[in-house]
Structure 1
Amino acid sequence: MSSPPLKLRFACGGYDRVEALQHGIIAPDGITLDFQEINAPRHIFDGMIGEGAFDVSEMSSSEFITRKLMTDFPFVAIPVFPSRAFRHGFIFINRHAGIGTPKDLEGKLIGVPQHSQTAAVWIRGHLQDEYGVDLSTLRWLEGSVEQAGEHAKIETTSPLVPVVLEPNRSGKAMSDLLADGEIDAILGSRRPESLGRHPDVIRLFPDYRPIERDFYERTHIHPIMHVVAIRHDVYEKEPWIAQSLYRAFDESKNWALDRLRISAAQHCMLPFMFADLDEVDELFDGDPWPYGVEPNRPTLEALVRHLAEQNFIREPAPIESLFVGV
């Protein structure tokens, strides 16, 4: 008599690449996924890291790598990346702050949801690598973008070398602080609501798409935001689940890519989607979202290097040491 499927509670955003898993179109071998759709990533991270609230979840890649290398962290990861995004378009400035080029950010007061946020790590890496910005000159205000107060509910990772960083205790959202000229810039994973609503809030790179394309063509880096983490106690009892989950995630992602290409009736409300797909196929050789270590080595090595250069970890680690075998 065969064993019943292992039930695993999985928390993730409702992304197209996991849609087939969420709706049972694809199922991991030997596993029943209790899919918890949570479209606020920080809530997932706080629940998983703070309480072990899920068996499996998406997790901040910078937070996972830092805690994995610097602490006794009770989670393992598989090389599945639910969230990734180019970030040149996520630097927002006040037009009166005297910022015309990236170097002009030096000495400025910059809002960030969380200093250790993966998006912030990537953007600082771009500023340093691509534009020669001296990161040690930047001053930081940390807090939620759209409401007063903090972004994370658990203690987050801090750099080994102190930076000029203060919590936002103004009683105002950072989006409003930027519009009012009380901070000079915001960077991170979220567009402030004041963009488009207030004339003084603009992007540092207004025409960011060709910049991001050029960046990828030169580096083959498509920034990874999140990994899939498994509680160590769950993995230790049932190590086979890593491979089963990996294969199912990959199938689900491919299902979503195939669905995007159905042209008889367009799946997404993007009027120029098929032109975009042509560009994506040309640039990414048909797969803009590969899983596994090897196809993502340039991206993962860059992220680990940024974490070391920004003093979150002591030195880069071999990429293979970050993931369990699949």
Structure 2
Amino acid sequence: MADLKLQFACGSYDRTEPLHDGSVQPEGIDLDVVTIDDPRELFDRMMARDEFDLAEMSSAEHFAMTSRNESPFIALPVFTSRCFRHSFMCVNANAGIKTPKDLEGKRIGVPLYSMSAAIWCRGLLRDDYGVDLSGVTWVEGSMDHPGSHGQPRQHALTKATRIETNVSARSLSELLASGEIDATIGALMPTNFGTDRNILRLFPDFRADERDYYIRTGVHPIMHLVVIRRKVYERAPWIAKSLFTAFGRAKRKALDRMFYTGAPKTMLPFLHAEVEETRAVFGDDPWPDGVAANRKTLDCAVRYMLEDGLIAKAPDLTKVFADVE
């Protein structure tokens, strides 16, 4: 019997490249991998039409839809994107922001209030620094051009929140430089960071802060996961286990390549030092898959979404993820 043909869309990652080049193939599946490096474009295309059978997806969007019993997807506990977020918080040098508490009552730019990166930024500001965000005005818009950040599905929040749309002819990066907003958070750095002296990081020693955060909390923030269209999954539920196993094999090949101590595979002069520190902090698998191995991080993400008013109740993780473990 011929293998089942499925199309999978994701960014270009070391952990998925073996699926793309065919060196890892899921059992019983002929997987066509499509690369789309703009996450918002990918999410919008996956949501708008039946363009892909499975794809990388915002974890926050899938959690929110599942909590409302509206998700057309079931997820694999495979996390294509993770990122600590201290380094993505920037401030205007003249806004009087010296500490995280100084963000209270400010105007803060964010591509989307509901995006996973912003959820993690706000959560750590509350948890670690006691920042009261209730008086903040959030200004939504694209970081690198005028207008909106994609076309995500919008839902009413469960609590009063000041959110404005950037209707100016300038990007959030330009508004930050001019002082019309006081700070930015999210998944992207301002485009003029490093060239405009008015734009500074809130956490200058972010590497140490992020390392300390992980050591203290055991939380490695999850941005994206992999979703399967529910109608595809229901026709052939066996594909979830096959895909999960293949993603694990692909990640292992990428880790072996990264851990190789001969000629470096990337143009990072201090790659081996980075690898040694990563193994010292995270062990041999800095990117674990599965619900059990990530329960603390998943529970933290859900709590932050509740605190932000993005969901009214926690999603049932047995409905969020296919049973593959």
Same fold (TM over 0.5): yes
- The AA in structure 2 aligned to 1:10 is F
The equivalent of 1:23 in structure 2 is 21
Q: Say whether residues 1:156 and 2:137 are aligned partners.
A: no
The equivalent of 2:98 in structure 1 is 100
Give the alignment's TM-score, normalised by structure 2.
Answer: 0.98
The residue matched to 1:268 in structure 2 has which SS?
coil
- Aligned with 1:302 (options 280, 297, 300): 300
The equivalent of 2:211 in structure 1 is 213
The residue matched to 2:7 in structure 1 has which SS?
strand
Aligned pairs for 1:117-136 within 5 A: 117-136=115-134
The equivalent of 2:196 in structure 1 is 198
- The AA in structure 1 aligned to 2:243 is L
Report if the CA contact (8 A) 1:50-1:154 is conserved: no
Task: Give distance in 2, aligned partners of 1:130 and 1:153.
Answer: 32
- Aligned with 1:37 (options 24, 35, 38): 35
Task: Give distance in 2, aligned partners of 1:215 and 1:72.
Answer: 34
The residue matched to 1:225 in structure 2 has which SS?
strand
**Cα deviations by residue, 1:128-159 (Å, 9 ceiling, x for unpaired):** 11111112111110010000000022433442
- The AA in structure 1 aligned to 2:108 is I
The equivalent of 1:141 in structure 2 is 139
Task: Give distance in 1, aligned partners of 2:142 and 2:268.
Answer: 29
The equivalent of 2:4 in structure 1 is 6
Task: Give distance in 2, aligned partners of 1:79 and 1:157.
Answer: 25
Task: Give distance in 2, aligned partners of 1:207 and 1:132.
Answer: 19
Over 6 Å off, 4+ runs: none
- The AA in structure 1 aligned to 2:299 is E
Task: Give distance in 2, aligned partners of 1:159 and 1:266.
Answer: 48
**Cα deviations by residue, 1:10-61 (Å, 9 ceiling, x for unpaired):** 1100000001001000000011111110000011100111213210000000
Task: Give distance in 1, aligned partners of 2:148 and 2:315.
Answer: 31
**Cα deviations by residue, 1:43-91 (Å, 9 ceiling, x for unpaired):** 1100111213210000000010001111422111010000000001110
Report if the CA contact (8 A) 2:67-2:314 is conserved: no
Structure 2 residue runs of 5 or longer lacking an equivalent are none
Task: Kindly state the Cα deviation for residue 312 of structure 1 after the two structures are TM-superposed.
Answer: 1.1
Aligned pairs for 1:1-326 within 5 A: 3-326=1-324
What fraction of aligned residue pairs are identical, expressed as a percent?
A: 48
Task: Kindly state the Cα deviation for residue 264 of structure 1 after the two structures are TM-superposed.
Answer: 1.9
Task: Give distance in 1, aligned partners of 2:156 and 2:50.
Answer: 21
Report if the CA contact (8 A) 2:105-2:133 is conserved: no
- The AA in structure 2 aligned to 1:237 is R
RMSD (Å), alpha carbons: 1.0
Report if the CA contact (8 A) 1:66-1:157 is conserved: no
Q: Sort the Cα spacing of 1:321 and 1:236 in 2 relative to 1 into closer, same or farther, 3 A.
A: closer
Task: Give distance in 1, aligned partners of 2:248 and 2:301.
Answer: 22
Task: Give distance in 1, aligned partners of 2:14 and 2:160.
Answer: 39
Report if the CA contact (8 A) 1:297-1:319 is conserved: no
Task: Kindly state the Cα deviation for residue 318 of structure 1 after the two structures are TM-superposed.
Answer: 4.6
Task: Kindly state the Cα deviation for residue 311 of structure 1 after the two structures are TM-superposed.
Answer: 1.2
Between 1:77-86 and 1:304-313, the stretch displaced more is 304-313
Give the alignment's TM-score, normalised by structure 1.
Answer: 0.97
The residue matched to 1:82 in structure 2 has which SS?
strand
The residue matched to 2:81 in structure 1 has which SS?
coil
Task: Give distance in 2, aligned partners of 1:60 and 1:312.
Answer: 14
Task: Give distance in 2, aligned partners of 1:61 and 1:154.
Answer: 13
**Cα deviations by residue, 1:268-289 (Å, 9 ceiling, x for unpaired):** 1111111111111111111100
- The AA in structure 1 aligned to 2:68 is M
Task: Kindly state the Cα deviation for residue 97 of structure 1 after the two structures are TM-superposed.
Answer: 0.5
The residue matched to 2:157 in structure 1 has which SS?
coil
Task: Give distance in 1, aligned partners of 2:200 and 2:146.
Answer: 21
- The AA in structure 1 aligned to 2:240 is A
Task: Kindly state the Cα deviation for residue 5 of structure 1 after the two structures are TM-superposed.
Answer: 0.8
Task: Kindly state the Cα deviation for residue 321 of structure 1 after the two structures are TM-superposed.
Answer: 3.8
Task: Give distance in 2, aligned partners of 1:218 and 1:140.
Answer: 29
**Cα deviations by residue, 1:241-267 (Å, 9 ceiling, x for unpaired):** 100110000100010000012222100
